[in-house]
Amino acid sequence: MTGADPRKQEPTLAVEGLKTHFFTKAGVVKAVDGVSLHVNPGEILGLVGESGSGKSITGFSILGLIDAPGRIVEGSIRYKGRELTTASDEELRKLRGDRIAMIFQDPMMTLNPVLRIDTQMIETVRVHHRVSKSEALERSRAALAEVGIPSPESRLKNYPHELSGGMRQRVAIAIAFINKPDLIIADEPTTALDVTIQAQILAEAQALCARTGTAMIWITHDLAVVSSLADRIAVMYAGRVVETGRTSEVVSAPRHPYTRGLINSVPSHNARGSRLAQIPGMTPSLMNLPKGCAFRTRCPQAIDVCLETPPIREIAPGREIRCFNPVGAAQPAAAEVAP
Amino acid sequence: MSGEPLVSARGLSKRFVKKPDFAGRIAGHLGADVREETVHAVDHVDLEIMKGEVVGLVGESGCGKSTLGRMIAGLLTPTEGEVQFKGKSRDALSSAEAHAARLAIQMIFQDPYASLNPRARVEAIVGEAPLVHGITTRAGMPTYVDDMMRRVGLDPELKRRYPHQFSGGQRSRIGIARALAVNPEFLVCDEAIAALDVSIQAQIINLFMDLRSEFDLTYLFISHDLGVVQHITDRVVIMYLGRVVEAASTETLFDGPNHPYAQALLAEVPRISTEKRTFHPIKGEIPSPLNPPSGCHFHPRCPHAFDRCRNEVPVLKEIAPARYSACHLNDG
């Protein structure tokens, strides 16, 4: 990360060379293996990858939510210049839920099923701020209204099971935003929701970030969702970021063969009824990655040097790829991927 | 695509009734207002599927698309109406015909993890049904299973393995091989690719399309993923709270949906775009099927709703050749 960003501001979060490994009986699983990324205030970063790519573990690592047998073995996570990998549990606890919040795929991971919504929201406020109960309640009501929940007063009195899935996710988002955090990590928050409800949640998240200047990392497997939501995209494969850049650039002219394969395999990028351009093979096991570039065995343009591990390199300001033989700049995104 | 439909549903309804429990019955005796709860999962649906056609059934959760699929596949008995197979009502078939009809319609399930017996080897999962139904012999079964596995792109070497030893995409392929093993004519795919990663989804969609041309299969493709539906189907049926709101050929529908719900649904499909977009979602939630709104089920969320929508159920009418929509706005 050089000073390529024209705004020249300090990023809300900067992750450098993060490695989170899991030491299992069967061997070391390198779930996150050298991830670097950053988010600026008010920016939405889309972290895209398939299952097992390490995208969720990256998110958990930032919040210090990695449990044994997992461990952050290397790298730094800097929140506004403060190192989090060496922070004490107490320091992390003060940050979590206040300055850095998380939204999970399943809102029931955030919500306690046996407590009313108001109890949970008031607690979130009062744990971090010295305010009266009524003040905390008022903030809770405002937060619920902010995420588009109709009649927030009566919803506050509900238990989580009395709400629909979309409503619960809104409550979880309201709780994440209630202390006006600097950073929110959203892990597939709309994956379990219906299309019309997903659109509502995306609209609210987008508006909230713009309004409050909160930075957001939106973790998802769905390129279509982030392409319309995020400012920048980081694509992960087998524990590493393989491509980053502005959303429009990455989507219209992907340079890494994996990104191109992902975009081309989306049905709307293919003529109706034609065979989809597919990436051959399957995601390799993290315990047994191919030597060198992990995508090498599925890559249509792998060459001999790919046996070495490709370094991440900047090809344009703010645009980085991890590939020896990238897709040519002139090559359109819809070019056919060889089987 | 003319002639007789392969499968058709006539006035098909499914109601699930929840009887009051013991405490509820006592409360009822004491004068409390406790009644049976009825969910109209599917409400008088007519559907015709021609031979060789791929029909997409689209809707959000709770709209009854899976229930309809299961009734067509014969896994659920309809409360009302009938399913016809090759022009004959399923209830009127002789037992031999009914047997053949059951084999001819196979289902592929959403969850490749839950729909395979975890304690059976792949060879048993794929080979059991054809053996029982006399499609193959015990001696011929190994080669038959090998053949089925090759057809769906699995290495026959792996047939002694258990489902947990496979990845999600491979498990889907096992589910497909199991369905194909009894030589079906018609496949009901209930969210068959929803649980898979993007790159694996593309492989399975390609497999479905290859199998279609190879075996002349007919599909009912149930999905909430409109991008996939647009890609592989010939005709799309959109459901909302148990009723069909619009049915048309895929091209016509995606060119310009008629029903306000279809319009909203299509507008909100996330697509890969190079620009950040602003979302203009429709308001409100899907109402509970326990207590659906009166008249047109969509009226509380509909931007064009007027008085008639609140009182009168719109009927599914042909608004253009082979294009149906259930909306009062079409009456001028």
Best probe of the B interface among A194, A220, A248, A269, by most B CBs < 10 A, is: A194
Q: CATH number for the domain including A294? A: 3.40.50.300
B274 touches chain A (CB under 8 A): yes
pLDDT for res A1: 43
Q: Chain A 97-156, CB below 8 Å of chain B: which residues?
A: none
Q: Provide the residue-wise pLDDT of chain B in tens; the chain has 332 residues.
A: 456 889 999 999 999 888 888 888 888 888 877 777 788 889 999 999 999 999 999 988 778 888 999 999 989 999 999 999 988 888 888 888 888 888 999 999 887 778 899 999 999 999 999 999 989 999 999 999 999 998 888 888 888 999 988 888 888 899 999 999 999 999 999 988 887 888 888 888 999 999 998 889 999 999 888 888 999 999 999 999 999 999 999 999 999 999 999 998 888 877 777 666 777 777 777 787 778 888 999 999 898 999 999 999 999 999 998 899 999 998 86
User: Which ranges constitute the DSSP H helices of A21-156?
Assistant: 55-62, 89-95, 117-128, 133-146, 152-156
pLDDT tens digits, A75-125: 999 999 899 999 999 999 999 989 999 998 888 888 999 999 999 999 999
**b or e along A212-244 (b: 16 or more beta carbons within 10 Å of the residue's beta carbon)?**
bebbbbbbbbbbbbbbbbbbbbbbbbbbbbbbb
Looking at chain A, the whole-number percentage of residues with pLDDT higher than 70 is 94
**Residue in A with minimal Cα distance to B209:** A275
B1 touches chain A (CB under 8 A): no
Query: How far is B284 from chain A, CA to nearest CA, in Å?
Result: 8
pLDDT tens digits, A280-328: 887 787 888 888 899 998 898 888 899 998 998 999 888 999 999 888 7
CB contact under 8 A, A268 and B231: yes
Banded pLDDT at A73 (limits 50, 70, 90): very high
Q: Which residue has the tokens 């949906």?
A: B257
Q: What is the DSSP string of B240-276?
A: ETTEEEEEEEHHHHHH---SHHHHHHHHT-----SS-
Q: Where in chain B is the domain with CATH 3.40.50.300?
A: 5-240
Chain A partners within 8 Å of B279 (Cβ): 199-200, 202-203, 206, 228
A262 touches chain B (CB under 8 A): yes
Q: Chain A 179-218, CB below 8 Å of chain B: which residues?
A: 194-200, 202-203, 206
Integer distance in angstroms from the first to the last C-alpha of chain A?
A: 35
pLDDT for res A8: 56
User: In terms of pTM, does the model score above 0.90?
Assistant: no
Inside any domain, residue A195: yes
**Which residue from B169, B226, B268 is facing A199, i.e. has the nearest CB?**
B268
Q: Chain A 281-310, CB below 8 Å of chain B: which residues?
A: 282-283
Structure tokens at B142: 């190994």
Inside any domain, residue A288: yes
Inside any domain, residue A240: yes
Q: Is it the case that residue A190 has pLDDT exceeding 50? A: yes
CB contact under 8 A, A223 and B198: yes
Where in the sequence is the domain holding A263, given as residue range(s)?
13-99+179-321
B117 versus A274: which is more confidently predicted? Answer: B117
**Which residue from A50, A252, A268 is facing B199, i.e. has the nearest CB?**
A50
Looking at chain A, the whole-number percentage of residues with pLDDT higher than 90 is 45
B270 touches chain A (CB under 8 A): yes
Chain A partners within 8 Å of B206 (Cβ): 275-276, 278
Q: What is the DSSP string of B40-84?
A: EEEEEEEEEEETT-EEEEE--TTSSHHHHHHHHHTSS--SEEEEE
Best probe of the A interface among B158, B196, B274, by most A CBs < 10 A, is: B274
Cβ atoms of B197 and B44 within 8 Å: the answer is no
**Residue in A with minimal Cα distance to B169:** A282
CB contact under 8 A, B228 and A267: yes
**Residue in A with minimal Cα distance to B228:** A267
pLDDT tens digits, A208-254: 888 888 999 999 988 888 888 899 999 999 999 999 999 999 998 99
pLDDT for res B36: 77
A337 versus A149: which is more confidently predicted? Answer: A149
Q: Is it the case that residue A6 has pLDDT exceeding 60? A: no
B118 touches chain A (CB under 8 A): no
pLDDT for res B33: 77
CB contact under 8 A, A203 and B199: no
pLDDT tens digits, B86-99: 888 888 888 888 88
Q: What is the DSSP string of A240-304?
A: EEEEEEEHHHHHHS--SHHHHHHHHTSGGGS-TTSPP----S-PPPTTSPPSSSTTGGG-TT--G
Cβ atoms of B141 and B134 within 8 Å: the answer is no
pLDDT for res B274: 65
Angle ∠(B111,A31,A110) on CA atoms, nearest 5 = 60
Query: What backbone phi and psi angles, to 5 degrees, belong to A288?
Result: -140, 60
Best probe of the A interface among B172, B203, B279, B291, by most A CBs < 10 A, is: B279
Inside any domain, residue A118: no
Structure tokens at B159: 């047939």
Sign (positive or negative) of CA dihedral B8, B13, B16, B19: negative
Those residues with Cβ within 8 angstroms of residue B111's Cβ, 6 or more apart along the chain or in another chain: B195
Q: Would residue A130 be called left, alpha or beta, if left means φ above 0 and alpha means ψ between -120 and 50 degrees?
A: beta
The highest-level CATH class for domain B5-240 is alpha beta
Inside any domain, residue A152: no
Inside any domain, residue A21: yes
How many domains does chain A fold into?
A: 1
CB contact under 8 A, A196 and B286: yes
pLDDT for res A170: 87
B311 touches chain A (CB under 8 A): no
How far is A17 from A110, CA to CA, in rounded Å?
29
ipTM: 0.75
Structure tokens at A339: 């089987």
A334 touches chain B (CB under 8 A): no
Chain B partners within 8 Å of A273 (Cβ): 209, 231-232
Cα diameter, chain B: 68
**Which residue from A164, A224, A278 is facing B270, i.e. has the nearest CB?**
A224
**Which residue from A225, A267, A279 is facing B230, i.e. has the nearest CB?**
A267
Coil, strand, or helix at residue B173? helix
